[in-house]
Structure 1
Amino acid sequence: MRVAVWFLVVLLAFGFAQKRVVLGVGGKTAIVYLPLTVVERLGYFKEEGLDVVSQDLQAGSRALQALIGGSVEVVMGYYDHTIQMQAQGRDIVAFVQVGRYPAIVLGVRSDLADQVRSIPDLKGRRVGVTAPGSSTHFFLNYLLVKNGLKPTDVAVVGVSVGAQAVAAVQNRQVEAISNVEPAITLLEERGLIKVLADTRSTKGTREVLGGEYPAAVLYTTRAWLERNPDTAQRLVNAMVRGLRWMQGKSPEEIAAVLPEEYFLGDRALYLKVLKNSLESFSPTGRFSDTAPLRPLTVLSAFDPNVARAQIDLKRTYTNAFVDQVPKR
Structure 2
Amino acid sequence: MNDIHFNRRTLLAVTACAAASVAAPALWAQPRLEKTKIAIAVGGKAAFYNLPLTIAEQLGYFKAEGLEVDISDFAGGSQALAAVEGGSADVVSGAYEHTITLQTRGQSFQAFVLQGRAPAIAIGISVKAMPHYKTIADLKGKRIGISALDSSTQRVVQLILSRAGLKADDVNYVGVGTAAGALTAFRTGQIDALSTVDPVLTMLEQKGEIRIITDTRTLKGTAEVFGGVMPAGCLYAPLDFVKKCPNTVQALTNAMVHSLKWLQTAGPSDIIRVVPEAYFLRDRALYLAAFNKVREAISPDGLIPVEGPQTAARALARFDPTVKLSNSDLAKTYTNVFAIKAKERFNA
Aligned to 2:148: 131
Aligned to 2:281: 264
Q: What pairs up with 1:31-110 in 2 under 5 angstroms?
A: 31-110=48-127
2:144 partner amino acid: V
Matched, 1:184 2:201: yes
Could you report, residue by residue, the CA deviation over 1:217-245 in whole angstroms, capped at 9, with x for unpaired residues? 00000011111111000000110011011
Could you report, residue by residue, the CA deviation over 1:253-275 in whole angstroms, capped at 9, with x for unpaired residues? 22221110010100110010011
Figure out how many residues of one structure are paired with residues of the other and give that number.
318
Matched, 1:205 2:219: no
2:219 partner amino acid: T
Unaligned runs of 5+ in 1: 1-10
Report the secondary structure of 2:235's partner residue. Answer: strand
Could you report, residue by residue, the CA deviation over 1:3-50 in whole angstroms, capped at 9, with x for unpaired residues? xxxxxxxx9994469810000001100111001110111111000000
In 1, the alpha carbon distance for the partners of 2:239 and 2:128 equals 47
Q: What pairs up with 1:218-233 in 2 under 5 angstroms?
A: 218-233=235-250
Matched, 1:150 2:163: no
Matched, 1:22 2:49: no
Could you report, residue by residue, the CA deviation over 1:149-200 in whole angstroms, capped at 9, with x for unpaired residues? 0001000000001111111100110000111111111111122111110000
Report the secondary structure of 1:133's partner residue. Answer: coil
Aligned to 2:188: 171
The share of aligned pairs that are identical, in percent, is: 43
**Deviation (angstroms), 1:322:** 1.0
In 1, the alpha carbon distance for the partners of 2:170 and 2:128 equals 21
Matched, 1:321 2:338: yes
Which of 307, 312, 323 is the equivalent residue of 2:324? 307
Report the secondary structure of 1:324's partner residue. Answer: helix
Distance 1:154 1:43, change over 3 A: same
**Deviation (angstroms), 1:327:** 2.5
**Deviation (angstroms), 1:144:** 0.4
Q: Is the 8 A contact 2:56 2:62 kept in 1?
A: yes
Q: Is the 8 A contact 2:230 2:309 kept in 1?
A: yes
1:172 partner amino acid: G
1:230 partner amino acid: N
Could you report, residue by residue, the CA deviation over 1:88-115 in whole angstroms, capped at 9, with x for unpaired residues? 1110100001100000000100123433
1:31 partner amino acid: F
Matched, 1:292 2:309: yes
**Deviation (angstroms), 1:248:** 2.2
In 2, the alpha carbon distance for the partners of 1:225 and 1:280 equals 26
- The ranges of structure 1 where at least 4 consecutive aligned residues each deviate by more than 6 angstroms after the TM superposition are none
Distance 1:231 1:125, change over 3 A: same
Unaligned runs of 5+ in 2: 1-21, 28-32
Distance 1:292 1:236, change over 3 A: same
In 2, the alpha carbon distance for the partners of 1:118 and 1:267 equals 34
Report the secondary structure of 1:321's partner residue. Answer: helix
Deviates more, 1:267-276 or 1:305-314: 305-314
Aligned to 2:261: 244
Q: TM-score of the superposition, structure 2-length normalised?
A: 0.88
Q: Is the 8 A contact 1:144 1:150 kept in 2?
A: yes
Q: TM-score of the superposition, structure 1-length normalised?
A: 0.93
Q: Is the 8 A contact 1:200 1:280 kept in 2?
A: yes
Report the secondary structure of 1:244's partner residue. Answer: helix
In 2, the alpha carbon distance for the partners of 1:26 and 1:108 equals 23
2:337 partner amino acid: A
Larger radius of gyration, structure 1 or 2?
Answer: 1
2:171 partner amino acid: V
Q: Is the 8 A contact 2:313 2:325 kept in 1?
A: no
**Deviation (angstroms), 1:77:** 0.2
